[in-house]
């Protein structure tokens, strides 16, 4: 007989262990509702699905993006008394088959895998007979950050869930802006979802930003910050070449650092991760590929040499500092031209017109699996995965039980046009999200308040733990004409939602234009922008 909640909590958290508010909130409605939980690092999100698995008495499948993260989770779950296995490309085929067979027989309680594994028919078929009770999507922001281009199999998790018998879905992430939350819910096909957003503030991390005249001055300021701060640290750079340049500059300054980027072999990356985790290395210069699954508690600083492409990504990376609760700092160093490359990085766009036509034509030949569509179209699996997701998003095709079929109501040309129009809207939103990073970097108001409000939280008070508060430039905006989260109406752009209020400025998310920063006094005096209920 499955344990009660109290018994499961004792097994996972130890005798006397108590659920945190975010954990209890998520567990309270998980039996009846799909759930998206946004809670800061250290909130114990893994314990939520460990406890839920014990109480259900049924297997749980966890979609986890990185091998290092999967290894840590297997260890953590085993310590909680759960039988856990990871299925990945790093595991020999025989071991993968054995793990799937064990899961089907009920001998594995938690199976961890990457989204690409759930694209495999043999994996999904094995799990379809396992009675899976819960599908967990860990680091759920990857659905939006990576799904469109880098790892399109994230966009097919809803179909995989249906083939597994439509288990309850639990999505977990440390940071997600309102737009990201909405996209995660939609992409995962979550049913009557609860979206739980707990306070993601990390008050032990001091926040700062520096603007420099150019790239040499930026890099010099990055080195200065790293040299001046003792303890373990991570410096984030934009490109592989920039990683190597900064590592050399730091070595010259007497602060040796290991480099980490996607151009290194898997063995080299693992060596750097292990050296940092064990304390053999105190400083790593890395691209954004480093950090997820590298859980070192005593990181004292995170310095960015140039802004990341979104505030969601920035706060994820900042959150790798101070996980032990002790003081840490996060500094963003940039120069005016740094934002430009981010527009390029986020410009994924729609699949090519010829690709969409070929895939749609293949589906029109008759219902078929993704492999059937790939074979008929002559295109690669990843290309087909991306095109099918784009076509499904506009209602041109649908997946049922692993089979794709054409939906009526539009010619091939009309469906392709709808895909490209949707991609144009998404690109406009992405461009505006890049500009939000500039808003954060250049504000003289309380930096923490601006950051958290842009991420969809209401923090009206100045924090006292950022460079703006230290300089005395943070302001009280309680009497401003707008407030974060407020619904507003623009005479030209229609409905919107206020994201952040600064002295004299208001940033609004419009469905038709993305994020737009406006002069608050001007729009009020002219009547261009008003409260939707006013």
Choose the weakest-confidence range: 193-202, 298-307, 420-429: 420-429
Radius of gyration of the chain (CA): 24
Q: Assess whether the region 5-197 and the region 205-337 belong to the same CATH fold.
A: yes
pLDDT-derived band at 343 (thresholds 50, 70, 90) equals very low
| Measured distance CA(337)–CA(213) in Å, rounded | 9
Query: For residues 496 and 498, what is the distance between their CA atoms, to the nearest angstrom?
Result: 7
pLDDT digits (tens, 9 = 90+) for 373-385: 999 999 998 899 8
From CA 443, how far away is CA 208, in angstroms rounded?
10
Task: Evaluate if residue 345 carries a pLDDT over 50.
Answer: no
478 exposure class (CB count in 10 Å sphere: 0-12, 13-18, 19+): exposed
Mean pLDDT computed over 219-228: 96
Please compute the mean of the pLDDT values over residues 266-274 and round it to a whole number.
89
* Residue 275 pLDDT: 94
pLDDT digit string (tens) for 400-415?
888 999 987 789 999 9
d(CA 377, CA 65): 29
**3-state SS record for 71-99:** HHHHHHHHHCCCCEEEECCCCCHHHHHHH
Structural tokens at position 426: 């998404």
pLDDT at 382: 84
Query: Are 508 and 529 within 8 A, CB to CB?
Result: yes
Mean pLDDT computed over 99-126 = 87
Q: What is the mean pLDDT of residues 49-73?
A: 87
Where does 84-146 show beta strands of DSSP type E? 84-87, 110-113, 134-137
Distance from C-alpha of 132 to C-alpha of 170, rounded to nearest angstrom: 13
- Whether the CA torsion 413, 414, 417, 423 is positive or negative: it is negative
- 339 pLDDT exceeds 80? no
Q: Does the pLDDT of residue 340 top 60, yes or no?
A: no
Query: Domain 205-337 adopts which CATH fold?
Result: Rossmann fold (3.40.50)
**Token pair belonging to 317:** 């990376």
When the pLDDT of each residue in the chain is averaged and rounded to a whole number, the result is: 88
pTM: 0.83
Architecture field, domain 353-422: Orthogonal Bundle (1.10)
Q: What pLDDT sits at residue 149?
A: 55
pLDDT above 80: residue 292 = no
Range name among 130-144, 308-322, 426-440 with the lowest pLDDT average = 426-440
- DSSP for 231-289, written as a single string: SEEEEE-SSHHHHHHHHHHHHHTT---EEE-TTS-HHHHHHHHHHHHHTS-SEEEE-TT
3-class state of residue 456 by DSSP: coil
How many Cβ atoms from other residues are within 10 Å of residue 237's Cβ?
A: 25
Reported as a pLDDT band with limits 50, 70 and 90, residue 148 is low
Report the pLDDT averaged over residues 155-177. 90
Q: Please state the φ and ψ torsions of residue 518, each to the nearest 5 degrees.
A: -125, 155
pLDDT, one tens digit per residue, over 464-506 is 999 999 999 998 888 888 888 889 999 999 999 998 888 888 9
Give the pLDDT mean for 136-163.
Answer: 81
Q: What number is the average pLDDT over the span 93-119?
A: 87
Residues 428, 515 contacting (CB under 8 angstroms): no
Question: Cα dist. 522→43, 456, 494, 517, 527 in Å?
Answer: 42, 24, 17, 12, 8
User: Quick check: 2 pLDDT over 50?
Assistant: yes
Contacts of 328 (CB under 8 A, 6+ apart): 204, 205, 206, 299, 300, 301, 302, 321, 322
Domain ranges, ordered by start, for the chain: 5-197, 205-337, 353-422, 443-531
Q: How confident is the model at residue 293, as a pLDDT? A: 67
The CA distance from 210 to 218, in Å, is: 8
Report the distance separating Cα 46 and Cα 26, nearest Å: 12
pLDDT number for residue 34: 96
Query: What is residue 347's predicted lDDT score, i.e. its pLDDT?
Result: 44
Please determine, for residue 204, whether its predicted confidence score (pLDDT) is greater than 60. Answer: yes
Which of 267-276, 453-462, 475-484 has the highest average model confidence (pLDDT)?
267-276
The listed CATH number (3.40.50.970, 3.40.50.300, 3.40.50.620, 1.10.10.10) that belongs to domain 5-197: 3.40.50.300
Q: What mean pLDDT do residues 46-62 have?
A: 92
Q: β-pairing, 283-286 with 232-236? A: parallel
């Amino acid at each position: 007989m499955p344990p009660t909640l109290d018994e499961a909590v004792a097994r996972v958290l130890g005798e006397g262990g108590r659920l945190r508010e975010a954990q209890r909130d998520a567990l309270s409605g998980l039996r009846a509702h799909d759930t998206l939980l946004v809670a800061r690092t250290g909130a114990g999100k893994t314990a939520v699905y460990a406890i839920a698995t014990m109480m259900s008495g049924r297997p749980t499948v966890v979609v986890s993006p990185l091998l290092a993260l999967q290894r840590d989770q297997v260890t953590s779950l085993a310590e909680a008394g759960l039988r856990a296995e990871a299925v990945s490309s790093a595991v020999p085929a025989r071991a993968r088959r054995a793990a799937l067979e064990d899961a089907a027989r009920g001998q594995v309680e938690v199976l961890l895998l990457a989204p690409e594994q759930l694209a495999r028919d043999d994996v999904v078929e094995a799990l379809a007979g396992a009675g899976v009770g819960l599908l967990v999507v860990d680091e759920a922001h990857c659905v939006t950050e990576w799904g469109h281009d880098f790892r399109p199999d994230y966009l097919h998790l809803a179909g995989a869930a249906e083939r597994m018998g439509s288990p309850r879905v639990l999505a977990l992430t440390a940071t997600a802006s309102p737009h990201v939350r909405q996209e995660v819910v939609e992409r995962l096909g979550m049913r009557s979802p609860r979206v739980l957003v707990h306070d993601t503030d990390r008050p032990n991390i001091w926040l700062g930003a520096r603007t420099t005249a150019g790239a040499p001055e930026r890099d010099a300021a990055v080195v200065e910050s790293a040299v001046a701060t003792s303890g373990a640290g991570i410096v984030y750079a934009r490109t592989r070449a920039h990683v190597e340049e900064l590592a050399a500059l730091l070595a010259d300054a007497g602060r040796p650092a290991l480099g980490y980027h996607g151009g290194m072999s898997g063995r080299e990356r693992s060596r750097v991760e292990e050296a940092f985790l064990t304390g053999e290395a105190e400083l790593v210069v890395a691209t954004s590929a480093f950090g997820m699954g590298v859980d070192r508690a005593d990181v004292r600083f995170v310095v960015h040499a140039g802004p990341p492409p979104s505030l969601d990504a920035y706060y994820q990376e900042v959150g790798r500092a101070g996980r032990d609760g002790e003081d840490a700092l996060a500094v963003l160093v940039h120069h005016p031209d740094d934002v430009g490359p981010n527009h390029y990085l986020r410009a994924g766009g729609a699949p090519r017109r010829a690709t969409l036509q070929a895939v749609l034509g293949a589906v029109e030949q008759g219902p078929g699996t993704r492999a059937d569509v790939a074979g008929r179209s002559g295109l690669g699996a990843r290309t087909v995965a991306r095109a099918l997701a784009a076509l499904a998003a506009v209602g041109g095709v649908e997946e049922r039980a692993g089979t794709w079929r054409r939906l009526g109501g539009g010619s091939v040309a009309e469906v392709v046009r709808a895909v490209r129009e949707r991609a144009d809207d998404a690109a406009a939103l992405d461009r505006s999200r890049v500009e939000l990073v500039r808003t954060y970097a250049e504000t003289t108001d309380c930096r923490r308040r601006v950051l958290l409000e842009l991420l969809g939280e209401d923090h009206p008070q100045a924090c006292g733990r950022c460079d703006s508060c230290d300089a005395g430039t943070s302001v009280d905006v309680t009497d401003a004409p707008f407030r974060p989260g407020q619904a507003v109406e623009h005479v030209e752009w229609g409905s919107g939602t206020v994201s952040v209020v600064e002295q004299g400025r208001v940033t609004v998310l419009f469905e038709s234009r993305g994020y737009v920063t406006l002069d608050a006094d001007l729009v009020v005096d002219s009547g261009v922008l008003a409260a939707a209920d006013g």
